[in-house]
């Protein structure tokens, strides 16, 4: 959906999500619909978290670090990578099921009935819209084990743990990440149009240094895939080319004209750049790959004009 600039994106997200949740006749083969706001994001740097532990525990630790990075270090765009959809696998014992007179469809129906999440409406206030949900999901193995799936001959309750083994795992093994041969989680840090990639990298490096001192034994935290270094290289190149251009123009003009004339011609480049940076700051334009390429091209154009 493409919205007008005047549209209330937050309210639209709530309304669309409410309508989607009200649809209960989707085919069984399709995945659950996802409603989210799309935005232009650019990768900055990744953080690799490596530990000799189970995948669910590693995912939980990565989510904890993600919250710390966002709340305490001001890095807003962080995603945890290296895991597929979290799932609980229910492995049924067919022999016990036959003895108790239960079928797979009976158990699946009971699990579905006792795992309910439905929208119950919304409350509108002058400032915000609140979506009300009825949530009766069983979200831990212990809660799943307690689901009643039938009754025995003497009236006793048959629970899921009596006929099945429940394991906590992730759906697809091929989406797992190994860093130096060990199970790893990746925190992918990105930026939007207004963010400063170099400032974000500085905060990430500080975060990694702080977490290394308090990380549990056997946990290593490293930065990798640093794309902000490309931006730093371009920035260094721009400054280097700028000073070289100023010196060359000044010396060339000095050979044929007066010192005063050479100075004012060479001063055109820093004055133009300071004016450009001032306008960029006021127009909300950040220093990124595209803007740096434009500034590098401007150096050549201004030197030719000078």
Q: Are 14 and 131 members of one domain?
A: no
Could you tell me the residue range of the domain that residue 271 belongs to?
A: 229-305
Residue range 229-236: average pLDDT?
76
Q: Are 239 and 147 members of one domain?
A: no
Q: Are 71 and 133 members of one domain?
A: yes
Q: Are 31 and 55 members of one domain?
A: no
* 68 in Cβ contact with 207 (< 8 Å): yes
Q: H or E element: which one contains 210?
A: helix 197-214
pLDDT digits (tens, 9 = 90+) for 79-138: 888 776 667 788 888 888 888 888 888 888 888 777 777 777 777 887 777 777 777 777
What is the Cα–Cα distance from 273 to 243, expressed in whole angstroms? 12
The pTM of this model reads: 0.55
What is the Cα–Cα distance from 281 to 121, expressed in whole angstroms? 43
pLDDT digits (tens, 9 = 90+) for 125-182: 877 777 777 777 777 778 888 888 888 777 788 888 888 888 776 655 545 777 777 7
Tell whether the model's pLDDT for residue 8 goes beyond 80: no
Tell whether the model's pLDDT for residue 31 goes beyond 90: no
Q: H or E element: which one contains 75?
A: none
Residue finishing a domain among 194, 226, 258: 226
Q: Are 50 and 180 members of one domain?
A: yes
Q: Are 277 and 189 members of one domain?
A: no
* 182 in Cβ contact with 52 (< 8 Å): yes
């Amino acid at each position: 959906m493409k919205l007008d600039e005047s549209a209330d994106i937050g309210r639209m997200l709530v309304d669309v999500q409410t309508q989607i949740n009200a649809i209960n006749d989707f085919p069984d083969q399709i995945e659950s619909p996802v409603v989210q706001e799309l935005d232009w994001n650019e990768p900055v740097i990744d953080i690799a978290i490596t530990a000799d532990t189970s995948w669910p525990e590693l995912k939980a630790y990565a989510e904890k670090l993600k919250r710390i990075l966002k709340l305490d270090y001001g890095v807003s765009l962080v995603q945890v990578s290296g895991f597929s959809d979290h799932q609980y696998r229910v492995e049924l014992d067919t022999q016990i099921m036959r003895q108790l007179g239960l079928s797979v469809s009976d158990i699946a129906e009971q699990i579905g009935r006792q795992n309910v999440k439905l929208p119950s409406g919304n409350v509108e206030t002058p400032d915000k819209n609140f979506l009300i949900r009825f949530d009766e999901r069983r979200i831990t193995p212990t809660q799943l084990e307690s689901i009643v799936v039938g009754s025995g001959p003497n009236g006793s309750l048959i629970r899921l743990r009596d006929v099945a083994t429940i394991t906590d795992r992730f759906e697809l093994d091929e989406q797992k990440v190994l860093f130096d041969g060990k199970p790893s989680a990746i925190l992918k840090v990105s930026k939007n149009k207004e963010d400063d990639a170099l400032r974000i990298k500085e905060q990430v490096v500080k975060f990694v240094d702080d977490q290394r001192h308090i990380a549990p034994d056997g946990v290593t935290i490293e930065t990798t895939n640093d794309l902000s270094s490309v931006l730093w290289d371009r920035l260094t190149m721009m400054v280097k080319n700028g000073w070289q251009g100023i010196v060359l123009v000044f010396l060339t003009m000095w050979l044929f004209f007066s010192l005063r004339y050479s100075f004012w011609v060479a001063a055109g480049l820093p004055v133009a750049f300071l004016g450009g940076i001032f306008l960029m700051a006021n127009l909300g334009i950040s220093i990124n790959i595209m803007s740096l390429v434009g500034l590098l091209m401007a150096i050549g154009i201004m030197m030719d004009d000078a």
